[in-house]
Each structure stands twice: as structure tokens, then as C-alpha cells.
Structure 1
Amino acid sequence: MSTLTKPNHIGRKISRIRELRDMKQEALAQALGTSQQAVSNIENSETLDDDKLLAVANALGVTVEAIKNFSDEAMISYFNTFNDSPNNNFGNHHCAFNPLDKVVELYERLLQAEKEKVEYLEKAQKGK
């Protein structure tokens, strides 16, 4: 039975989300602290333990529920809603979130990453 006929094949869902986020297996492997072959094995698995699923979800920037509930049909339906407007242009689409909040969120994540990098470098320098 192919993975396309199994709606709950968790590995396939992870693979599709990774592809939609334009992420290579190597990048996901690095985020998980593992090898590309391990990511390939994850994507070929029908099931995944909760801890590993949570780690993958965090690395992909989605929730565990988003992975479990993902379907290609839902994505197609979502993108088809853009064609439902009578004018068929994207100018009438309104964001469901405040873009400035997203910029602040990204800035805070960047700032935290920089703090962690400085701490790591300070520890490394003390060790010499």
C-alpha cells in the first residue's frame, strides 16, 4: 500500500510540510540535531513517538496538531479560496494577523539567538 493512500501517514505529512516551508531534509536534520538519513527515516515512518513529533513540529515552526491534521486537500481548498472573489485579485485579501506583530516576534527570536550566541562564545573563550 503506498503512502499516498494512507491518510494518517505521519512521515508523509512531515515531508509535505517541510516541502511547503521550502526546507531541505538537511536543514531539518540540522534543526533536529540529527542526520539527513534520520530525517529520511522519519518521513518514511507511518507513526512517530510524541517526543520526536514535538521536536519535528518545533523545527518546522508548526504545532503537533498541524502535522496530525495536515492534508493536501485542505491546502488546495485554502489556496482555491483566493479564486473565489469576483474580482479575482489578491488586493481584496485581508490579513488575519497584524504584520507588525510578526516583525516584532521575528525580531525577538533573532535577539534571543544573538544572546545565546554571545553566551556560547563567552563560555568558549573562558574555556581556553
Structure 2
Amino acid sequence: MQTKTKNNHIGRKISRIRELRGMKQETLAEELGISQQAVSNIENSEKVDDAKLEEVAKALGVTKEGIQQFNEESIFNYFNSFHDSSAFNTHCTFNPLDKLMDAHEENKKLYERLVQAEKDKVAYLEQLLKKK
């Protein structure tokens, strides 16, 4: 016997998008101005009215169509495409050690300026004490 899964359960799609965005139900509820229980009810609903779906989409930073057409398999295919070396250039255009040494030199200069500022402050305070 074959069990057909429901791919158009809007509530599950909302829940999964929320989880992928690292958002808790409480946070989404706060964004929507509703209770956490109301968010739970939305996520358990197979269908959500268009107006509420628009609000949820805006709070999640996606479009209503993005929620309706969300497919977890396509997300995995998208992320798996990053393993394809032809997808982007992996050649580094600079020497990371040079960048590290530049940062070290900059820190050294900043430290020397800080030390000089402290020396100037001490000299000024000593000068004030001599005047008294």
C-alpha cells in the first residue's frame, strides 16, 4: 500500500521556512502581533487564508508565492550545487598570510599610537603637578 504525502500543507511549509530562518514560534508570533499558540495553529493548518499568508510571508522575509511553492527537495538541490566546483571560482586572489601580516602591522601602529598618547597624558599631568 502506497501512502501519498501532502506536499501542499501550507502550515508545514511555514514551519519549515521559519526553522530554516532560525526563528522561534515566539518570535514569529511577536512579529505578527499574535500568540505563540496562534502561530502553532497556523503551522498545523493545511490551508491559510491569503491575507494571513501575506502577513506571515512578510514576517519571514519571503513572498507568499515563496511559501506556496516551497519544496524542501529544491532547497537541498540548491545547497548541493555549491559542491559543484564549476559553480564558482575557488581560486584565492590574495595571499591570506599577507593579509594577516598587514593586520598585525596595523595593530602594532595603533598600539604605538596608544602608548604615545598615554605618555603625552602622563607628561601633561606631571607638568600640572609641578605647577602646584
- TM-score interval (norm. to shorter): 0.5 to 0.7
Aligned residues: 88
Q: Secondary structure at the match of 1:5?
A: coil
The CA deviation string for residues 39-81 of structure 1, in whole angstroms up to 9 with x for no partner, is 0000000000000000000100100010001011000000000
CA contact (8 A) 1:28 1:60 kept: yes
> Which residue of structure 2 aligns with residue 25 of structure 1?
25
> Which residue of structure 1 aligns with residue 122 of structure 2?
none
Q: Which amino acid aligns with 1:54?
A: E
* Rounded Cα–Cα distance in structure 2 between residues aligned with 1:42 and 1:33: 14
CA RMSD of aligned residues (A): 2.0
* TM-aligned CA deviation for residue 90 of structure 1: 7.7
The CA deviation string for residues 57-116 of structure 1, in whole angstroms up to 9 with x for no partner, is 010010001000101100000000001116x98846xxxxxxxxxxxxxxxxxxxxxxxx
Query: Which of these two proteins has the greater Rg computed from alpha carbons?
Result: 2
Q: Which amino acid aligns with 2:84?
A: D
Unaligned 5+ segments in structure 1 are 93-128
Q: Secondary structure at the match of 1:62?
A: coil
Q: Which amino acid aligns with 1:36?
A: Q
* TM-aligned CA deviation for residue 5 of structure 1: 1.6
* Rounded Cα–Cα distance in structure 1 between residues aligned with 2:89 and 2:46: 38
TM-score (norm 1): 0.64
Q: Secondary structure at the match of 1:7?
A: coil
* Rounded Cα–Cα distance in structure 1 between residues aligned with 2:36 and 2:45: 14
Alpha carbons of 1:11 and 1:90: their partners in 2 closer, same or farther (altered >3 Å)? farther
